[in-house]
Structure 1
């Protein structure tokens, strides 16, 4: 397939900032077709960004939302590549209507980093590593029995969502002697669940029975505030909530209240409803919560793989018009 690029003598790939420190990988991959790679700097002036979108053939984007207004400024038939798996920040309907292909990078190794991070958060929460560190740094000692610490071995694990990351996390947690594994994922067959020696249940049963509940579901209308006042009331008083998925799955206000009232053991969160996390978030003042800054996906290796995957997707859009990981795929007859 031969592509044309409007008035541009060469294709232009724009990377929306904030992105990464260096784009050598993207430039190397796209040099195969002589494409120009531009860093789209815009600060806080979104109008600046919108103006620049008119000049590019493919956009690479990390976290900046691309709504219908932004997509309307892009060339019909151009492309969007999301650095990562989730595309909930891209208006897919608007992109499809404009003939803009949206691709993601689902296989950059996030199952390794995120599952490691989820396991680390689980251990840190259950063993009270963060709070104990603070107390020891303050000169305290012999504090082990002041607050309960439970044994992971023999615990029931609940997984909401059972994709690659959840399965990698499960493999790590089984090394600690997890006894029973409950899974809620309507898109996974009973045969597949049996192959992994897990039990398929509805979400409420996980909230009622699991001591450790780890969220691995995508952001969607159906999953919005999956953890809310009602489901928190179902949870055991020794339950640990782990979220390395999407902040929108959790009602922050309801969780903060449950933690403040010690209705559950604690929570460890790598993602928030609003990011960056607001200074006024009620979670900041609570001793039974562990927070990280949406860094679960990160390692030097995963970033390099992610940048290469995004560049290759852009290359496919510019050459064949058919990216391997085409999210809003339509019929070739459209």
Structure 2
């Protein structure tokens, strides 16, 4: 990846925790004029040991939680950058106290990928694509009318959160024939509501009325398990629950119990409270549930844009400026 690998104790490093992309050539090319290098820290490797005695100015992460010791034991650290939107794996309070910038990359075009993935999960669940595939492969035929399939003509979609991804999903659900859009979002203003022709409502009312409940909100202490047993109990028996946002938003045990009991129709889940889910995770055995591996954001185009924007943020910090998408402003 590097044209020049010679480093000195003064070489600035941008450390990537648990690297998962094919390479980091875009980030490396952006910071190389400053004499800086990318330092991958593989999964399972102790970050503090890997970064010891190195001039680390930035740490980049996807899902890995930042070791609390990094805030104090990496003295030159100026930036923690999240590849993506949510920053619930970063201790914002400690970072602010240490005057470490925390930034995310909210605008790398993944709203199209994620909203497409949400629709794919919905259709796979509602049309029972996965179970039909298994039955046909097992030699069964004519099973399509033996299990109920909910229609969506003039149905109601309930969106929890109404940022870029939710708005893209709104457009797609309407194209499928959903005629009513309910939104639960404390930041939804009258202008946006009118422009998108959506109905603002509280979360309990949304759960009662929606045929499909789709989550599009960050994970915070206020939103953790926002879809719990009580709210699942408010949902229609034909409701489909979709989550391509953050895993901790749903009480997975309660959702699995409702699916087993037939109290909700199905679920499409791309994110989990623990990733990867443990072998005994309740959703793994839940009926009419389609699962994917936190890949809703992914396409070759979105990854390239994500890495280019990450490189631009690294450059800003090396130039002595704050990041453009600075989360913990002081």
Q: Per the alignment, do residues 211 and 179 of structure 1 end up closer, same or farther by CA in structure 2, a change over 3 Å counting?
A: same
Rounded to whole Å, the distance in 1 between the matches of 2:68 and 2:257 is 36
Native 8 Å contact 2:28 2:38 kept in 1: yes
- Give 1:208 deviation, angstroms: 0.2
The aligned length equals: 323
Contact 1:190 1:200 in 2 (8 A): no
Q: Does the aligned pair in 2 maintain the 1:216–1:245 contact within 8 Å?
A: yes
How far apart are the structure 2 equivalents of 1:46 and 1:323?
23
| Secondary structure in 2 matching 1:57 | strand
Alpha carbons of structure 1 residues 32 and 74: separation in structure 2 relative to 1, 3 Å: same
- Residue correspondence of structure 1 range 223-302 to structure 2 within 5 A: 223-302=223-302
Match of 1:48 in 2: 49
| Structure 1: distance between partners of 2:101 and 2:286 | 43
**Which structure 2 segments of 5+ residues have no match?**
1-7
Deviation per CA, 1:17-51: give whole Å up to 9, x if none.
233221111111112322122222462545534x4
- Find the counterpart in structure 2 of residue 36 from structure 1: 37
Deviation at 1:104, TM superposition (A): 1.0
The answer on whether the counterparts of 2:19 and 2:40 sit within 8 Å (CA) in structure 1 is: no
Aligned partner of residue 105 in structure 2, secondary structure = coil
Residues 316, 39 of structure 1: alpha-carbon distance in 2 compared, 3 angstrom cutoff: same
1:47/1:24 CA distance change after superposition, 3 Å: closer
Does structure 2 conserve the Cα–Cα contact (< 8 Å) formed by 1:29 and 1:312? yes
Instruction: Tell me what 1:194 maps to.
Output: 194
Q: 4+ runs of 1 displaced by more than 6 Å?
A: none
Q: Deviations over 1:260-311 (max 9, x none)?
A: 1010001110001111111011221222111000000001111111111111
The 1:76/1:34 distance shift into structure 2, 3 A limit, reads: closer
Paired position in structure 2 for 1:65: 65
Q: CA deviation at 1:326?
A: 0.7
**Which residue pairs with 2:111 in the alignment?**
111
Kindly indicate whether the alpha-carbon contact (under 8 Å) linking 1:126 and 1:150 is maintained by their aligned counterparts in 2.
Answer: yes
Measured at CA, do residues 155 and 180 of structure 1 come closer, stay the same or move farther in structure 2, by a change above 3 Å?
same
Match of 1:182 in 2: 182
- TM-score (normalizing by structure 1): 0.93
SS at 1:166 equivalent: helix
How far is the alpha carbon of 1:232 from its aligned partner? 0.8
Which residue number in structure 1 is paired with residue 4 of structure 2? none
Q: Which runs of 5+ in 1 are unaligned?
A: 1-6
Residue in 1 that maps onto 2:3: none
